[in-house]
Amino acid sequence: MPKKLIKRYMPDHQKIREHKSLRFLGRLIHNPRLWHFNRRSVSGAFAVGLFAAFIPLPSQMAIAAAAAIPFRVNLPISVALVWVTNPITMPPIYYALYRLGAWVLGSPVAHVPFEASAQWVIAEMATIWKPFLVGSLIAGVTCSALGYFLVSTLWRLSVARQARNKKKKRQQGVATEIQES
Per-residue confidence (pLDDT) for residue 11, from 0 to 100:
62
Which among 26, 90, 14 is positioned nearest to 55, based on CA atoms?
Answer: 90
**Domains of the chain by residue range:** 2-180
Using an 8 Å Cβ cutoff, are 105 and 138 in contact? no
pLDDT score at 120: 75
pLDDT of residue 147: 95
Query: Which residues of the chain are modeled with pLDDT < 70?
Result: 1-27, 114, 116, 174-181
Task: State the Cα–Cα distance between residues 139 and 30, nearest whole angstrom.
Answer: 31
CA dist list (Å): 87 to 2, 11, 52: 28, 21, 15
| CA-based nearest residue to 59, from 25, 32, 109 | 25
- By the 10 Å C-beta count (0-12 exposed, 13-18 middle, 19+ buried), 64 is classed as buried
Please report the pLDDT score of residue 1 as a whole number.
47
pLDDT in tens, 104-117: 999 888 877 767 67
| DSSP string for residues in 38-102 | SHHHHHHHHHHHHHHHTS-STTHHHHHHHHHHHHT--HHHHHHHGGGS-TTTHHHHHHHHHHHHH
| Rounded alpha-carbon distances, angstroms, from residue 86 to 33, 83, 125, 127 | 28, 5, 19, 24
